[in-house]
Amino acid sequence: MKALYASESSGFTLVELVMVITLIGVLSVLGIGLFAGHSAFSPLLATQQLSSATLLAQQAALAGNEASSLSVTQGTDDFVFTVGPGTASEREFRIGRHGTAFSVSGATLPIDFDNMGRPETGGNVQFAFSGESTFTVCLSSLGAVYGGGC
């Protein structure tokens, strides 16, 4: 005669389900804490935004467009990279400051680009983002943007 309950069981017990739900909850809380703390200034993001804005201004200069200049300003909460400031084709890129200050040497802002895509400063332009540490970005006299000093 066959028993009512077979020795093989399928499915999960209530204890196992509660433990899995608890474990998922703990991991979620830890994960939110890890991602919520990433509000610091990112030098890599600043370099990429500066590169993007520079490339857009250079392309406008090569095309003979009026938006062939680049300006960087420091707001209360963010840095604003503006391509073609004061023109109808003006575009803005923003990144959070998070206590970081900004300075530029080798040029005055806005930086205009010639019909070859080079900055009209005649030399290199160095941007410095200073906070807990200083990060420099160089705009070379040929128009290349890279992290580090000029």
**DSSP label of 17:** H
Domain boundaries in the chain? 41-147
Quote the pLDDT of residue 3: 56
pLDDT average, residue stretch 111-126: 91
What pLDDT, on the 0 to 100 scale, is given for residue 34? Answer: 61
Confidence check: pLDDT of 110 > 90 = yes
| Predicted TM-score of the model (pTM) | 0.69
Residue 79 burial (10 A CB sphere; 0-12, 13-18, 19+): buried
Q: What is the DSSP-derived secondary structure letter of residue 84?
A: S
Alpha-carbon distances of 38 from 49, 72, 96, 99, 123, rounded to whole Å: 18, 24, 12, 14, 36
pLDDT, one tens digit per residue, over 17-74 is 888 888 887 777 777 766 655 556 777 778 888 888 888 899 999 899 899 999 999 8
Q: What are phi and psi of 145, to 5 degrees?
A: -115, 130
pLDDT-wise least confident of 31-35, 110-114, 115-119, 124-128: 31-35
As a whole number of Å, the CA-based R_g of the chain is 27
Residue 143 has pLDDT above 60, yes or no: yes
**What number does CATH give the domain 41-147?**
3.55.40.10
